[in-house]
Structure 1
Amino acid sequence: MKFLHTSDWHIGKTLKSRNRLEEQAGVLREITQIAVDNDVDAVLVAGDIYENVAPTADAHRLVVRTLLHLARQNIEVVLIAGNHDHGATFEAYKPLMDVAGIHVYGQARSAAKGGVHTFRAKSTNEHVNIAVLPFLSQRYAVRAAEIIANTPSQNVGAYDQLVRDVLTNLTGTFTPDAVNIIMAHLTCTGGKFGGGERPAQSIMEYHVPAAIFPVEAHYVALGHLHRRQQIPAACPVHYSGSPYAIDFGEQNNTHVVCLVEASPGTPAHITDIPVTAGRSLRTVHGTVAQLTADPAGYGKDYLRLVVTQPGYAGMREDLYEALPNALQILIHPDHAGTAVTAGISVDQPVRTPAQLFADYCHSVGVSDDRVAALFNQLHDDLTRSTTRP
């Protein structure tokens, strides 16, 4: 049987206040056409369908129309919630989506309560098992382990062990006469960041070793890290990556969907199919004269400009007028003293909220791991809205 693995659509994502919904629509049309052209049995979307937990009506409309179009082609459509999605909302719509042939999973559940999606491949009539694991925050991983795997949380403190216990329950239903797949939204230890992920829910306790995936799995379809990559493991473990550049940190990434062919008893064969509808992001350095010398040469690329000359009043306006696709203007650190005059930020590495809070604690003489842990928990609550499984 054949299926497409994709993830991290982030529909509704804006970039420096620039609306990208039309671009995102083009990306989804291309993915849909790839699925149809390759006559796939299923499309698996491994989380972060939306950019935030409260998508706009236009973002909802685009996603729903895309999923319906796929389902009408007699394609099995299965998707899980990522850390940017609202899992409880996915669950609320699940009965209605099931009727439409779209199978959504917002929260972790045991195999006995539907945590493994099963179907027959239309092309081969092969039996397919998909163990589905939506994103689990630290505290809900504890809760999920208690409910699904009957694991006392006081005896299991590590996040990776909690996830392992949940997966053990789900993959216990795998059978040798079926194509057995795991779909999860998480960070694998050793995985490379794409550049646009949410750090607070990707690092710290939020990573698991690839060894948690059993050899019986024909394929592990992961979402969360935006870079296309394979993680070394006993079975094929793959991130499809985001199908377009989410932020400037991803400007050099390769954007694809994974076409996977698998049969019981044989290794999966994976082919990367490029997705080209997304607009390229580009960071360019130079003086104002150099940056504006050939505007047509940038094509439709969105630009981040790093100015390598002293700032002057009106510089920002001059650059935006000459380069309407410029989304961000920075002053090179060598000219940091003139940034205020130009009203432009200095080109500096982006620091995570946790790093900024650690700097603050250091400045006021606070050194307590409990304070840092509380900050991380509060930040997780603010950036991840969900209910317990």
Structure 2
Amino acid sequence: MRVLHTSDWHVGRTFHGRDLLADQETALGGLADVVAEERVDVVAVAGDLYDRAVPSGEAVQTCVRVLNRIREAGAQIVLTSGNHDSAARVGAFAEFAAAGGLHLRTRISRLQEPVLLDDEHGPVACYGIPYLEPDPARQVLREHTDVPGAGEVAERGHTAVLTEAMNRVRADLARRPAETRSVVLAHAFVTGGEVGESERTIAVGGVEQVPGSVFSGVDYAALGHLHGPQRLAEHLRYAGSPLAYSFAEAAQRKSVWLVDLDASGLAEVRRRELPVPRRLAAVRGTLQELLTAPEHAAVQDCYLSVVLTDEVRPLEPMRRLQERFPHAVHLEWQPASGRDGVALHYADAVRGRDDRTVAAGFVADCRGSQPSETEQRLLDEALHEVAEVTG
């Protein structure tokens, strides 16, 4: 059986104010192409289908189209919810969706109930563990102890609830035929994973990290939450997000894992890169250099992060930049002299200075140049009026 491991779609997310739905549909549509080309049997989506608990209608329709394309390409879909999702909304109509090959695993009380699929070697059990917020998950697990392997969950925190979830998974797996292979989908922060800038913290109820040993006893653990593709162990991996959601991810090669299971379990894991609808890039220089230098033509169609090094802050820099770089979305001003990088403490900055000097320094810091004679005269007049009012 061949499994495609993906996660963290975050459909509906924006990038520095830019709508990404078209880019997301292009990248995620590439999953259907991979399914067809690689003859994938199952697509495992390990959480964060949406970027918000209440996604927009447009985001939902984008997801529907992508999931339909994957099904039409020939794969079953097993999907669980992440910390950005509303588990109840994602899991709505799960029983009806399963009839069409979309298996939604979002209920904590039923996480030990796998999706059972078959190949020429026998059954494959796919377990979906939704994101477990420690205290609510602990309560639900305590209320459902009438299942094999159930424990008390006496401790609090991410490790305790995920350990209990995996104990229930292993107990169910032990009751099945010996030839049953297993895949677990889980949305969690596993120790050893590299954190990026675009993940929302899940540090709720104590330390957010859980040890990789929690996932022992299964053939493959398809992880979600971290946005960079990562291998923590041969059977323990993050697929990462299909698109870059911060400029820190610009160098990442977004991809999915293709997981092959044979009669004895995990046989091979391969990486398959996804299409990049629009690259990310960063440039640095004065406004005039950026607007005229021919070497910057290569990034004109990229989402662009710009650092301006002009000594004086230019007027309307973003508008002017977007005339050449229509997808410039992020701008910082860092004068070459480094003035903006000096940490100023107000008390130190004004100590021993009169009001006239402080006011002139404020103008210089904000604008990058000292007040003109006319401006200084206006400042003096204003300070004189204040002095008369305050006595």
* TM-score tier after normalising by the smaller chain length: 0.7 to 0.9
Shift of 1:212: 0.6
Whether the 8 Å CA contact 1:110–1:166 is kept in 2: the answer is: no
Q: Output the CA distance in 1 between the equivalents of 2:365 and 2:317.
A: 10
Q: Output the CA distance in 2 between the equivalents of 1:111 and 1:319.
A: 51
Q: Corresponding residue for 1:30? A: 30
Shift of 1:189: 1.1
The 10-residue stretch of structure 1 (236-245 or 95-104) with the greater mean CA deviation from structure 2: 95-104
Identity %: 26
Q: How does 1:30-49 map to 2 (within 5 A)?
A: 30-49=30-49
Q: How does 1:108-147 map to 2 (within 5 A)?
A: 108-110=108-110, 114=113, 116-121=114-119, 124=120, 126-147=122-143
Instruction: Give CA deviations for 1:74-113 in whole Å, capped at 9, x if unaligned.
Output: 421111111111101122231332232211122323456x
Q: How does 1:79-98 map to 2 (within 5 A)?
A: 79-98=79-98
Structure 1 position 218 matched with structure 2 position 216: no
Match of 1:191, SS state, is: coil
Q: Output the CA distance in 1 between the equivalents of 2:139 and 2:186.
A: 17
Shift of 1:159: 2.3
Q: Corresponding residue for 2:20? A: 20
Q: Corresponding residue for 2:376? A: none
Match of 1:109, SS state, is: helix
Instruction: Give CA deviations for 1:343-385 in whole Å, capped at 9, x if unaligned.
Output: xxxxxxxxxxxxxxxxxxxxxxxxxxxxxxxxxxxxxxxxxxx
The 10-residue stretch of structure 1 (256-265 or 137-146) with the greater mean CA deviation from structure 2: 137-146
Where structure 2 has 5 or more consecutive residues not aligned to the other structure, the ranges are 341-361, 369-391
Whether the 8 Å CA contact 1:4–1:257 is kept in 2: the answer is: yes
Shift of 1:321: 2.7
Q: Output the CA distance in 1 between the equivalents of 2:228 and 2:204.
A: 13
Q: Corresponding residue for 1:186? A: 188
Whether the 8 Å CA contact 1:196–1:247 is kept in 2: the answer is: yes
Match of 1:199, SS state, is: coil
Q: Output the CA distance in 2 between the equivalents of 1:147 and 1:263.
A: 37
Q: Output the CA distance in 2 between the equivalents of 1:92 and 1:2.
A: 27
Q: Output the CA distance in 2 between the equivalents of 1:278 and 1:91.
A: 29
Q: Corresponding residue for 2:352? A: none
Q: Corresponding residue for 2:304? A: 303
Match of 1:51, SS state, is: coil
User: Between Structure 1 and Structure 2, whose CA radius of gyration is higher?
Assistant: 2
Query: What letter corresponds to residue 231 of structure 1 in structure 2?
Result: L
What is the aligned length?
A: 334
Match of 2:95, SS state, is: helix
Instruction: Give CA deviations for 1:307-332 in whole Å, capped at 9, x if unaligned.
Output: 12221333333223332110011112
Larger relative contact order (Cα-Cα within 8 Å, sequence gap ≥ 6): 1
Query: What letter corresponds to residue 248 of structure 2 in structure 1?
Result: G
Q: How does 1:162-173 map to 2 (within 5 A)?
A: 162-173=161-172
Query: What letter corresponds to residue 299 of structure 2 in structure 1?
Result: Y
Match of 1:253, SS state, is: coil
Whether the 8 Å CA contact 2:47–2:225 is kept in 1: the answer is: yes
Match of 2:91, SS state, is: helix
Q: Corresponding residue for 1:366? A: none
Instruction: Give CA deviations for 1:17-36 in whole Å, capped at 9, x if unaligned.
Output: 11111111111111110011
Match of 2:210, SS state, is: coil
The 10-residue stretch of structure 1 (171-180 or 129-138) with the greater mean CA deviation from structure 2: 171-180
Q: How does 1:1-389 map to 2 (within 5 A)?
A: 1-110=1-110, 114=113, 116-121=114-119, 124=120, 126-148=122-144, 150-153=150-153, 155-174=154-173, 175=176, 176-201=178-203, 205-214=207-216, 216-232=217-233, 236-292=235-291, 293-294=293-294, 295-310=296-311, 311-332=313-334, 334-336=338-340, 340-341=366-367
Shift of 1:130: 1.2
The 10-residue stretch of structure 1 (72-81 or 218-227) with the greater mean CA deviation from structure 2: 72-81
Match of 2:270, SS state, is: strand
Shift of 1:289: 2.4
Q: Output the CA distance in 2 between the equivalents of 1:328 and 1:335.
A: 20
Whether the 8 Å CA contact 1:7–1:45 is kept in 2: the answer is: yes
Shift of 1:46: 0.6
Where structure 1 has 5 or more consecutive residues not aligned to the other structure, the ranges are 343-389
Match of 2:189, SS state, is: coil
Query: What letter corresponds to residue 129 of structure 1 in structure 2?
Result: A
Shift of 1:290: 2.7
Q: Output the CA distance in 1 between the equivalents of 2:310 and 2:367.
A: 12
Whether the 8 Å CA contact 1:141–1:159 is kept in 2: the answer is: no
Instruction: Give CA deviations for 1:158-185 in whole Å, capped at 9, x if unaligned.
Output: 4202210111101222253022111101
- Relative to structure 1, the CA distance from residue 200 to residue 41 in structure 2 (aligned partners, 3 Å threshold; closer, same or farther) is closer
Q: Output the CA distance in 1 between the equivalents of 2:331 and 2:365.
A: 10
Whether the 8 Å CA contact 2:134–2:161 is kept in 1: the answer is: no
Shift of 1:205: 2.2
- Relative to structure 1, the CA distance from residue 280 to residue 201 in structure 2 (aligned partners, 3 Å threshold; closer, same or farther) is farther
Whether the 8 Å CA contact 1:89–1:106 is kept in 2: the answer is: no
Match of 2:77, SS state, is: strand
- Relative to structure 1, the CA distance from residue 74 to residue 276 in structure 2 (aligned partners, 3 Å threshold; closer, same or farther) is closer
Whether the 8 Å CA contact 1:111–1:170 is kept in 2: the answer is: yes
